[in-house]
Structure 1
Amino acid sequence: MTDSATTGTHHCFQLKGANVAMTALELHFFDTEAFEDTLRDKIRQAPGFFRDIPLILALEKYEGLTTELDFFQIIGICRRHSIHVVAIRGGNEDQRRLARNASLALLPATTQREQPVAADTPEEPAAVAETEATVTSGPVAAKIINQTVRSGQQVYAPEGDLVILAPVQAGAEVLAAGNIHVYGPLRGRALAGVHGQESARVFCQSLEAELVSIAGHYKISEDLQDHGWKTAVQIQLRDDLLVVTPLEKA
């Protein structure tokens, strides 16, 4: 043991609070075959979104029998598809006991409405070779990116809007607690309202996105191509549906 270790001047780790958005799977009932079939279908729609993501099982709307709730099977099915179940949210005392036996973390129930989503867990943004700035917009600062967000990069605005003054390339990901503005083609993935803000919107000069999500509701490129593809649009949530509107008609 080194002198620094014995004196306590250096520690092998520190605990810090983290503000991240998590993907929640809202479970209504559990049947092994139906669960895996539905999961495969979701992954086929947006395979990149599900690869190696952590997942929370939300039990606030679970209507099945507790005896049918097999967390070990759920964990195994998800793991086969490179999805990692890390916790449950809500649930009654028996369900939480079963989750604890499966080594899952226990989170309190929430009244915030969730929908089944395709969203990666935002981490600290990958190193972006752009100049970043902040501008005060009301009580929350917007995050501004001046240069292209390239494939493989992720940019995250955890509190306010995200403004990008350049293209977002295919394979890139941009996330914001509020609105997302892209003053160029949006070819990657854009997730606005990642903490559940249903009033958030996505604005872009040319819609060419792989996926757009607002408060967990999403459309993939095949759906988007029928609505304002390669034109300037805004995307918003109305009655739990994503609506694409030309900017000149907004």
Structure 2
Amino acid sequence: MSEPFFELKGSLFPLSVIHSTDLSEAAIRAALEQKLSQAPAFFHQAAMVIQLTPEHDAIDFIALKHLFQELKLVLVGVSGASPEQKALAQQAGLASLRLGQNSKPSPSQPQTTESTSSSEVRVEEVPMQTKLVEQNIRSGQQIYAKGADLIICGAVGAGAEVIADGNIHIYGSLRGKAIAGAAGDSSKRIYCQNLQAELVSIAGHYWLSESLQGDYWTKQCCIQMQGDSIAIRDL
């Protein structure tokens, strides 16, 4: 008997969730263009969902969908929609999603959440390997440790990007972007000796440079998830 050529399985993916009191095309364009100017590579073709509330009305979902396409983003659907909002979103070809309870927005930081289907999701624990890079990572370079932790014995320059499914250890300055837990594991961490990053991300949650410029700026630190938000602490 031949193997089935088609299977439908539940899975788990990180999605960026947009929370905004103003969902007009002009307001969303201005906000997205600002974020894209700060980290264009990180957001390129990023999958996004719009969080709706009963206060949102007269939303032009078709115009918003075209806007996302223009900005090289992917508007997957909406969440929290009323029956009327859901019908309008579906007319624009958008999905109506049900996000988990851990997706409540923080008042000051962008958040992401994960979407699952109603079918069973199984997570297989796979031991992490380690990828060691003994050099500085220059602007324009990207290092990805698939299924592994990443150790950088050197600096990560502005415009450079280091990505790992596991943890990231940087024995030098971090001036570019560091993305840990890229496969969706929010327990992963970023360690660095000198924090001056353009962006840090763990399992889809991210902070840009302006959010990082606090007590740990230019210092050694550990970046991790704490509840539903990113937190920074001493090594």
With a CA cutoff of 8 Å and minimum separation of 6, indicate the structure with the bigger relative contact order: 2
Shared fold per TM-score greater than 0.5: yes
* Aligned counterpart, 1:48: 41
Residue identity matched to 1:47: P
Secondary structure of 2:75's counterpart equals: strand
How far does the alpha carbon of each residue in 1:106-152 deviate from its partner, in whole angstroms, 9 at most, with x for none? Answer: 21243223446488x9xxxxxxxxxxxxxxxxx96652323239733
Q: TM-score, normalised by structure 1?
A: 0.64
How far does the alpha carbon of each residue in 1:186-207 deviate from its partner, in whole angstroms, 9 at most, with x for none? Answer: 543224598695x864323443
Aligned with residue 64 of structure 1, among 40, 50, 55: 55
* Structure with greater Cα Rg: 1
Q: TM-score, normalised by structure 2?
A: 0.67
Residue identity matched to 1:147: L
Output the CA distance in 1 between the equivalents of 2:227 and 2:125.
27
Residue identity matched to 2:195: L
Residues 213/71 of structure 1: CA separation in 2 closer, same or farther (3 Å cut): same
Identical aligned residues as a percent: 24
* Aligned counterpart, 1:190: 179
Contact 1:25-1:56 at 8 Å conserved across structures:
yes
1:95-174 counterparts in 2 under 5 A? 95-115=85-105, 117=110, 143-148=128-133, 151-155=141-145, 163-167=149-153, 170-174=160-164
* Aligned counterpart, 1:18: 11
Does 1:34 find its partner at 2:22? no
Output the CA distance in 2 between the equivalents of 1:107 and 1:164.
34
Equivalent pairs counted in the alignment come to 211
Contact 2:185-2:203 at 8 Å conserved across structures:
yes
* Aligned counterpart, 1:125: none
Aligned with residue 232 of structure 1, among 207, 220, 232: 220
Secondary structure of 1:21's counterpart equals: strand
Aligned with residue 78 of structure 2, among 74, 81, 88: 88
* Aligned counterpart, 1:130: none
Q: Per-residue deviation at 1:173?
A: 2.1
How far does the alpha carbon of each residue in 1:209-232 deviate from its partner, in whole angstroms, 9 at most, with x for none? Answer: 331135765333465466545643
Does 1:73 find its partner at 2:63? yes
* Aligned counterpart, 1:213: 201
How far does the alpha carbon of each residue in 1:74-104 deviate from its partner, in whole angstroms, 9 at most, with x for none? Answer: 1122111111111222211111111111111
- Indicate the larger mover: 209-218 or 233-242: 233-242
Residues 200/148 of structure 1: CA separation in 2 closer, same or farther (3 Å cut): closer
Residues 222/107 of structure 1: CA separation in 2 closer, same or farther (3 Å cut): closer
Unaligned runs of 5+ in 2: 115-123
* Aligned counterpart, 1:129: none
Unaligned runs of 5+ in 1: 1-6, 122-138
Output the CA distance in 2 between the equivalents of 1:141 and 1:243.
26
* Aligned counterpart, 2:121: none
Residues 29/200 of structure 1: CA separation in 2 closer, same or farther (3 Å cut): farther
Output the CA distance in 1 between the equivalents of 2:14 and 2:230.
20
